[in-house]
Amino acid sequence: MTSSTVVTTTLPASAQEEETAFPTGYVTVTDLIAVKPFAAVVVEETLHIAFTTAVRRGFDPDQATPFNGGRWLLATASGAEIESSGTASTFNAPGAFTVVFPWTEGEEPEPTTLTLVEGLTFFDDQGETNVPFTGLPMTVDAFKIADLPVTTVTVDSLTVTEDAAVLTWSSSDGIPVGATFTVFLTDQSQNTVGQYYEQGSFFFGGFGEREIPEQTSGTVTMQRDTSFQGPAAFETASELRVFASLAYTVSFPASAEFDVTDLPIVSR
């Protein structure tokens, strides 16, 4: 199971005072990580500000807890102060992330100051449960699928037919979780004879994009993979396996401020 501890490293005074610990223009958000905004993109009614990160010189990047964004405030030339609505990162660029702000379409952005209020780190985990297969259609009572460090994820109900599997899930204590489920039917030799998966799910964003989880519960419909096995193969099934890919975030104190008056802005 993945640990959700955000590690803070205590540095020697000489290292803390080293002016060249990070590239020019980067501002520290943790002892080992600094960030810098490099561009903004207007996409319909949102303003996306892209950041890159750097690890303190002399330290192994694996020692640093990843920084995936956080909660930010954007001040504009008109005097408005806008709170960020989300953060996204991509598996293809682990050293970068994007902060998203609501924006009025057609309005010319005039950002002046960008302030970090709270840091954020993503964590990934998974869960799995096996139950005896009793034939189709099949209904499974509630069961726990994962004990995460921050919450427990439960499958509240599951109904499986030849065409689809409908699953309702929830997270304890109102903790948001990103969840993607897959249902497998296996025979006595553990060969998969049927599978159901969820298209357009939490982990199926473009180019590996991942967003801050917002759901604490939900109902998903997984279609049977008709290209995998025909319905006749279900006659050999002996076990039903539910697999969950899960993501959650941990917030931690962090602060930074940037003058973004001259930040390049692109309209898309």
* Predicted pLDDT of residue 85: 87
132 and 243 co-located in one domain: yes
When pLDDT is cut at 50, 70 and 90, the band that residue 17 belongs to is very low
Tell me if 193 sits within 8 A of 237, measured CB to CB: yes
208 and 100 co-located in one domain: no
| pLDDT value at 14 more than 50 | no
108 and 223 co-located in one domain: no
Average pLDDT over every residue of 112-121: 93
201 inside domain = yes
Q: What is the pLDDT of residues 144-155, one digit of tens each?
A: 999 999 999 999
5 inside domain = no
154 and 107 co-located in one domain: no
2 inside domain = no
136 and 240 co-located in one domain: yes
Q: What is the mean pLDDT of the chain?
A: 85
When pLDDT is cut at 50, 70 and 90, the band that residue 3 belongs to is very low
Q: What is the pLDDT of residues 203-250, one digit of tens each?
A: 434 434 567 788 999 999 999 988 766 566 778 899 999 999 999 988
| pLDDT value at 184 more than 80 | yes
* Predicted pLDDT of residue 111: 93
The parent domain of residue 92 ranges over 13-123+251-267
| pLDDT value at 96 more than 70 | yes
CA-CA distance, 44 to 228, in Å (whole number)?
Answer: 39
114 and 159 co-located in one domain: no
- State the total domains in the chain: 2
94 inside domain = yes
Beta pairing class for 217-224 and 46-55: unpaired
What CATH number is attached to the domain comprising 41? 2.60.40
46 and 25 co-located in one domain: yes
Q: Count other Cβ atoms within 10 Å, centred on residue 250.
A: 16
189 and 114 co-located in one domain: no
Average pLDDT over every residue of 71-86: 92
What CATH number is attached to the domain comprising 182? 2.60.210
* Predicted pLDDT of residue 13: 42
151 and 238 co-located in one domain: yes
50 and 133 co-located in one domain: no
139 and 233 co-located in one domain: yes
Beta pairing class for 152-160 and 209-211: unpaired
Owner of token pair 């709270």 = 118
Tell me if 120 sits within 8 A of 212, measured CB to CB: yes
60 and 47 co-located in one domain: yes
